[in-house]
């Protein structure tokens, strides 16, 4: 009985993630006609990659993909470089106003980017960051940072202080102890932060569209126009857009599972 319940749960969870992806793939591979038929066949009669190939052959998709990867990687890098030390400080040192600081960090997400669009763009033009992946990634970092700081602070809190103190006893400097003892223990969580930063940057449309002209990120390049395209193209686009995220999560899955391990301990 218990085992049955367990199996049903596993199946339901698998279906929860796999069914939408399956329908997306079905729409992307089935071509124009299948998209409008209902109920849909389980297996498309004539699966073909034509739609996806046509989609990828669109001018600028390759260049935009490169910009997107670059922006997402930079965002990930900045979010980790700035977020981890801040999280460590919040976890290990108590200073007056640390509670307020946590709240203020969240406030950066309270301002809608759409309102800031004009002043931001003007500022970026003056700084020479307009239309560069670096500029877009800076804004994406600002969006990803609250999560990075708060999650990494609770992550570092979960690493027992005694381990760090033991390292000091054995002659590590504070920095060395953090790097050689705390960081490896927090690695799974850090992987999650990295994924989150990557995904935020990959999915963000508005900044990517307003701050760039020639060097669009893939999402900005396609998503603004994708919603107005014929359905089968939308499916192909959606399918192509989720693939990198799935691949990335697959690549770091080991670290993610380890994180659940920590939380269960």
Partner 1 sequence: MKARLAALVLAALPWAAPLAHAEDLVFLSTQLRPVEEAQKMRDAILKPSPVPTTYVADVPQVVPTRLAAERQGNTHTISVVGALHGEIQPLVATNDLAPLDTLAAQLSGRGIPPALMELGKLGTAHQMYIPWMQATYIMVANKQALPYLPKGADLNALTFAQLNEWSKAVQAATGKRMLGFPAGPQGLMHRFFEGFLYPSYTGGVVRTFRSPDAEAMWTEFAGLWKSVNPNSASYNFMQEPLLAGDVWIGFDHVARMLDALRQKPNDFVAFPAPSGPKGRGYMPVLAGLAIPNGAPDMKGATALIDYLSQPATQIKMAQTAGFFPVVAATLPDDLEPGLKLAVGAIAKTQASSDARPSLLPIGLGTQGGAFDKIYLDSFQRIVLRNEPVRATLDRQAESLRKIMTETGAPCWQPDAPSTGACPVE
**Among residues 26, 87, 90, 121, which is the contact residue for partner 1, using CB under 8 A?**
121
**Among residues 10, 118, 163, 243, which is the contact residue for partner 1, using CB under 8 A?**
118
Which is nearer to partner 1, 70 or 204 (by Cβ)? 70
Q: Which residues neighbour 152 within 8 Å (Cβ) at sequence distance 6 or greater?
A: 83, 84, 86, 87, 88, 91, 186, 189, 190, 193
**Among residues 126, 162, 170, 260, which is the contact residue for partner 1, using CB under 8 A?**
126
d(CA 168, CA 95): 22
Residue 254 touching partner 1 (CB under 8 A) = no
Residue 228 touching partner 1 (CB under 8 A) = yes
Q: For the CA atoms of the chain, what is the radius of gyration? A: 22
Residue 258 touching partner 1 (CB under 8 A) = no
**Among residues 82, 92, 131, 157, which is the contact residue for partner 1, using CB under 8 A?**
131
**Among residues 88, 130, 147, 156, which is the contact residue for partner 1, using CB under 8 A?**
130
d(CA 212, CA 133): 8
Q: Roughly how many angstroms between the first and final C-alpha of the chain, as a whole number? A: 27
Residue entry with tokens 């218990």:
2
Number of residues that bind partner 1 (CB under 8 A): 42
d(CA 242, CA 232): 16
**Among residues 104, 125, 243, 246, which is the contact residue for partner 1, using CB under 8 A?**
125
Residue 80 touching partner 1 (CB under 8 A) = yes
Q: Which residues neighbour 168 within 8 Å (Cβ) at sequence distance 6 or greater?
A: 174, 177
d(CA 220, CA 218): 5
Of 3-11, 18-26, 93-101, 124-132, the segment contacting partner 1 by CB under 8 A is: 124-132
Pick out residues in 19-78 that bind partner 1 (CB under 8 A): 32, 36, 38, 55, 58-59, 63, 66-67, 69-70, 73-74, 76-77
Please say whether the dihedral angle defined by the alpha carbons of residues 190, 193, 197 and 198, taken in this order, is positive or negative. Answer: positive
Of 7-15, 143-151, 171-179, 219-227, the segment contacting partner 1 by CB under 8 A is: 219-227
**Among residues 229, 248, 249, 262, which is the contact residue for partner 1, using CB under 8 A?**
229
Q: Which two tokens stand for residue 164?
A: 């760090």
Sketch the per residue contact string, 198 through 217, with partner 1: x for CB under 8 A, - otherwise: -----------xx--xxxx-
H/E segment holding residue 221: helix 218-226
Q: How far is the CB of 55 from partner 1 (least distance, A)?
A: 7
Which is nearer to partner 1, 104 or 118 (by Cβ)? 118
d(CA 110, CA 119): 17
Footprint of partner 1 (CB under 8 A): 32, 36, 38, 55, 58-59, 63, 66-67, 69-70, 73-74, 76-77, 80, 117-118, 121-122, 124-126, 130-131, 133, 209-210, 213-216, 222, 224-226, 228-231, 233, 237
């Amino acid at each position: 009985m218990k085992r049955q319940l367990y199996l049903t749960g596993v199946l339901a969870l698998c279906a929860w993630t796999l069914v939408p992806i399956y329908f997306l793939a079905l729409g992307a591979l089935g071509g124009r006609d299948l998209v409008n038929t209902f109920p849909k066949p389980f297996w498309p009669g004539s699966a073909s990659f034509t739609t996806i190939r046509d989609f990828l052959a669109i001018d600028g998709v390759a260049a935009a993909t490169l910009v997107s990867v670059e922006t997402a990687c930079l965002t990930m890098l900045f979010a980790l470089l700035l977020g981890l030390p801040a999280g460590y400080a919040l976890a290990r040192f108590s200073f007056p106003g640390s509670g307020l600081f946590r709240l203020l960090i969240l406030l950066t997400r309270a301002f809608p980017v759409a309102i800031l669009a004009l002043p931001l763009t003007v500022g970026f033009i003056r700084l020479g960051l307009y239309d560069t992946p670096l500029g877009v990634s800076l804004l994406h970092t600002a969006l990803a940072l609250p999560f990075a700081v708060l999650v990494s602070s609770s992550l570092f809190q979960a690493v027992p202080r005694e381990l760090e103190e033991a390292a000091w006893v054995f002659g590590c400097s504070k920095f060395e102890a953090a790097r050689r003892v705390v960081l490896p223990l927090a690695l799974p969580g850090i992987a999650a932060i990295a994924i989150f930063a990557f995904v935020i940057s990959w999915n963000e449309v508005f900044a990517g569209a307003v701050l760039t002209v020639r060097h669009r990120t893939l999402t900005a390049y396609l998503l603004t126009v994708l919603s107005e395209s014929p359905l089968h193209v939308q499916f192909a686009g959606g399918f192509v857009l989720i693939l990198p995220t799935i691949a990335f999560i697959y690549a770091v899955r080991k670290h993610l599972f380890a994180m659940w391990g920590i939380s269960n301990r």
